[in-house]
Structure formats: C-alpha cells, structure tokens
C-alpha cells in the first residue's frame, strides 16, 4: 500500500471541512514536520464522528470506531482519522473502557508525550499547542503529558514507547517521566507480546539502538522483555579477540554498528542483538575462554525468543539463519571454491556481511575477511556465465531417470555433488557430467 502523502492528508482535511467539521493534522506528523523531517504517516484529528467520516469518503475502514478511529483510503494509501476525544477509565492497562467525544484541547491532554500532543492547521499555518510540546521539541526533551505515572498506567506500552522515542528522536527523557518509567519495572505483565515486539523492533531499527538497550537495562525493564540478555553482563571474553569487554558491551557495540551503517532490515537488527545470546551458556575456560557451539545454540535460543514475542515465521527464520551462520566468513581464506560460491549467492548475503562487519567492529576491529568477501563478490560479478555464482545446471532429475537411475533421495545428493564439481570448474557440459555421475554413482 502506498505511503500516505501530505497532499492526500490535505485533501482529507479539506473534505471534512467542506462537510462543516473541524479537522487538523495531529501527533507525530506535526512533530516531524516541525523538525524538518518528512513524516511516514499523516494522522488527522477531527470533530466529525466516525459515521460522519464514513459518509464523507467513498472508502473507509472502521479500525477503532468505538474509540472514534477510522481509516480513510485515498489513492491506495491509508490515513488514520480520529475524532477528538477524552478517554474514560483504563482498566486493563491498555485501552479505555470508553471515550467521550471532546475538544482539541481535551484530546491533546489524553495523549502520551508533549511532542506528540501537537495539532497543525495547514490552511492557517498554525500550530495548536495545548501541552507546551513546542518548547520540549526545541529543547530535545521527552516529557509525558500530565502525570507520567498516570499516563503509563493507562497504557503500560507507553513505558516502552518512551524508550523508543528517546532512541528515534535522540531526546533526553524528562526526570519525572524517567522516574515513572523505572517504576514500571516488573509491571508489564499482560501486555500483548506482539505489541512488545513492535516496540523492540522499532528500538533496534532506530538510529540509537544501543541507547535503547541501555535505557531498558537502567530502568530494570530488560528482565521484562528480554531476560535472556541479562547473563551477558559480566560474561567475560578472551581479551585478545574482545578487548571491548564482556558480551553485553560487545552486543551493544554490534547493534549500534549495524545502525551506524544506515537503516537496517528487521532481520539484521534482531540478529545483531541475538548473535551471541548463547555465549554465557556455552562459556568454558581451558587454555583460554571459549564459546563452543554458541552459534547453533544461539539460533535455538533466538527461535525461542522470536516465538515468545510472536515474530513472523519469515522474520524468525531469517534471524535464526544469521545467528547460526554469523561466523560463516571465518574460514573464507581456505574455503573450497564451490563453498565460497554458495556462500556468496545467499539471498541474505548483504545482511550476513553487514553482521560480520559489525561483529568485527564491535570487537577486534579487523575487517580482513570482510574485505576478502567483498573482493570475491566483485570478482564473480565480473565473471562470465560459466564461472558465475549461479551457472546453468548441467543436468536435472529427468536426465538421471533417462540414464537409468531410479527416483529417490539419492537424486539430491547426486545433483549437489555435480553442482559442486561444476562450481569448482571441473565439469563444463552435460556429457562430462554424465560420465562423472555414472563413474561415481551406482544405478539401482
């Protein structure tokens, strides 16, 4: 679905006004435009009730009509249109029992943070600020609206949102707001795991994921959301490879290194966080500190964490593959040609290389293997078709049947071995492949 655009939001505002309703841009899009950043979404607040919004537009969806929220679909993009409201009591720490439609000022007072409580009238070029959000925006301060503890008690997810906004905006959390955040350590039970995962993902994909993890740890919230990371603190590593210190410090450096390279995929961000999650459990000390099998053990732990947080199957598989293979480049100098080519044609290669680079920068800083991998990647990109990473297969299962082989599990082994020989440059045509197969594999 296309991203909402400013012209689209203006069109919705003016349509609502043409029907006699008040309508303003609201929340994050106002904040971002004031910061000179193009918003990803445009939300609209209006005096129109949900049924009136529905009547004004040909295509709408009631995503929260009981709370005054509708989606308006315009040119394939979705815009959230919410009626000005004040909330009733919050019983479950997530949503109000009911709402009353209200004024813009009352609507602003029920929002989470002052910088998110702003409205904007584009026709009058007027910012409506009932919560002193512009002053906090200029000062780079994240402050809860009203009583921070009350705001967080209404919806405990706001505790994680506070950390997330600090990471995304680079703002300092106001002391009373921060004290309230810390008071909710151990009190996040009942929050939907999917909602927790969404906030964690946004923290990890923010420009400052290290800050987010440090804030979660300092607030005592890490035990609520990612307790598997706590054993990393104080888990020492061999200083000749990890002069940075313990596994926790290494993890913080790796997630930040990934972010410093630019916006990362969710798969890469989560893999950076979890790539060494099993080091404490696999740590042994003999001639030096070792972590035998921490990659495979880490992949198992990562899968359990992803399952608990209800991440998608596709994301989970991608994260676990990167965790399991994050040391895959270590033997690149002595790899067989076929193994190297298979490595360099992986669908997740860019994420794997980025994770390796961040892993090195977060420890010893030696990028020799990364440089070799990039050089080989460029070399094969220039190669002709016969020497490419994905040459045309010399044979298939139909060929094996035609040559008298019975279909079965052995076909996979035969085709894999033939491809190995082809990638190594030892087989160049079907005739040579047939001779190789008949000389090595017995017909049933």
Distance of CA 438 to the CA centre of its chain: 49
The burial of 364, by beta-carbon neighbours within 10 Å (0-12 exposed, 13-18 middle, 19 or more buried), is given as middle
Does 52 fall in a domain?
Answer: yes
Whole-number Å distance between alpha carbons of 437 and 412: 13
Do residue 168 and residue 104 come from a single domain? no
Give me the CATH number covering residue 273. Answer: 1.10.3210
Whole-number Å distance between alpha carbons of 74 and 82: 16
Higher pLDDT, 98 or 365: 365
pLDDT tens digits, 224-272:
999 999 999 999 999 999 999 999 999 999 999 999 998 889 999 999 9
Give me the pLDDT at residue 262, please. Answer: 85
Give the domain-ending residue among 139, 160, 179: 139
Give the domain-ending residue among 120, 139, 158: 139
Does 126 fall in a domain?
Answer: yes
Give the domain-ending residue among 383, 407, 430: 383
Do residue 184 and residue 259 come from a single domain? no
Cα 172–Cα 120–Cα 151 angle in degrees, nearest 5: 45
Do residue 216 and residue 144 come from a single domain? yes
Does 175 fall in a domain?
Answer: yes
Do residue 104 and residue 160 come from a single domain? no
- What DSSP state is assigned to residue 208? -
Average pLDDT for 340-351: 95
Does 129 fall in a domain?
Answer: yes
Do residue 289 and residue 401 come from a single domain? no
Do residue 173 and residue 129 come from a single domain? no
Do residue 151 and residue 74 come from a single domain? no
Does 53 fall in a domain?
Answer: yes
Do residue 372 and residue 273 come from a single domain? yes
Whole-number Å distance between alpha carbons of 273 and 285: 24
Whole-number Å distance between alpha carbons of 253 and 363: 8
Do residue 272 and residue 326 come from a single domain? yes
Whole-number Å distance between alpha carbons of 87 and 345: 54
Question: Could you tell me the two tokens for 262?
Answer: 């630019």
Long-range contacts of 378-381 (CB under 8 A, 24+ apart): 380/341, 380/344
pLDDT tens digits, 357-405:
999 999 999 999 999 999 999 998 888 766 788 889 999 999 999 999 9
Does 390 fall in a domain?
Answer: no
Does 33 fall in a domain?
Answer: yes
Q: Looking at the 3D structure of the chain, how many domains does it have?
A: 4
Instruction: List the domain range (segments joined by +) for residue 214.
Output: 140-225
pLDDT tens digits, 155-195:
999 999 999 999 999 999 999 999 999 999 999 988 999 99
Half-sphere exposure of 131 (CA within 13 A, CB side): 27
Do residue 274 and residue 212 come from a single domain? no
Give me the pLDDT at residue 385, please. Answer: 66
pTM value > 0.85: yes
């Amino acid at each position: 679905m296309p991203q909402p655009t400013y012209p689209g939001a203006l069109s919705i505002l003016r349509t609502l006004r043409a029907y006699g309703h008040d309508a303003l841009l609201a929340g994050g899009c106002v904040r971002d435009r004031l910061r000179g950043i193009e918003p990803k979404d445009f939300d609209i607040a209006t005096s129109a009730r949900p049924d009136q919004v529905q009547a004004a537009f040909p295509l709408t969806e009631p995503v929260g009509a009981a709370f005054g929220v509708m989606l308006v679909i315009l040119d394939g993009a979705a815009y959230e249109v919410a009626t000005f409201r004040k909330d009733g009591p919050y019983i479950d720490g997530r949503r109000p029992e009911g709402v009353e439609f209200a004024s813009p000022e009352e609507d602003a007072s029920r929002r989470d943070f002052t910088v998110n409580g702003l409205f904007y009238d584009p026709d009058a070029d007027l910012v409506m600020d009932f919560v002193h959000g512009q002053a906090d925006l200029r000062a780079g301060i994240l402050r809860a609206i009203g009583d921070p503890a009350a705001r967080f008690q209404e919806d405990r997810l706001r505790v994680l949102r506070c950390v997330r906004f600090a990471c995304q905006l680079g703002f300092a959390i106001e002391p009373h707001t921060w004290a309230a955040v810390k008071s909710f350590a151990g009190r996040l039970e009942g929050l939907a795991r999917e909602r927790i995962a969404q906030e964690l993902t946004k923290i990890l994909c923010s420009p400052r994921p290290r800050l987010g993890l440090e804030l979660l740890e300092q607030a005592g919230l890490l035990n609520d959301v990612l307790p598997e990371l706590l054993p990393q603190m104080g888990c020492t590593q061999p200083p000749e490879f990890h002069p940075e210190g313990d596994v926790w410090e290494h993890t913080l450096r790796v997630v930040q290194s990934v972010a410093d390279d630019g916006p990362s995929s969710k798969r890469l961000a989560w893999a950076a966080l979890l790539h060494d999650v099993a080091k404490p459990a696999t740590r042994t000390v003999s001639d030096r500190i070792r972590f035998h099998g921490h990659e495979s053990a880490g992949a198992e732990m990562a899968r359990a964490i992803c399952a608990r947080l209800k991440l998608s199957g596709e994301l989970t598989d991608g994260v676990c593959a990167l965790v399991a293979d994050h040391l895959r480049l270590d033997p690149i100098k002595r790899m067989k040609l076929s193994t190297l080519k298979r490595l360099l044609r992986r669908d997740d290669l860019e994420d794997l290389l980025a994770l390796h680079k961040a892993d090195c920068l977060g420890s010893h800083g030696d990028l020799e293997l990364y440089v070799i991998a990039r050089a080989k990647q460029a070399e094969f990109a220039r190669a002709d078709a016969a020497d490419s990473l994905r040459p045309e297969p010399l044979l298939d299962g139909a060929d094996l049947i035609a040559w008298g082989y019975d279909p079965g599990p052995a076909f996979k082994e035969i085709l894999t071995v033939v491809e190995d020989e082809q990638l190594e440059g030892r087989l160049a045509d079907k005739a040579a492949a047939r001779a190789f197969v008949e000389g090595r594999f017995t017909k049933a």
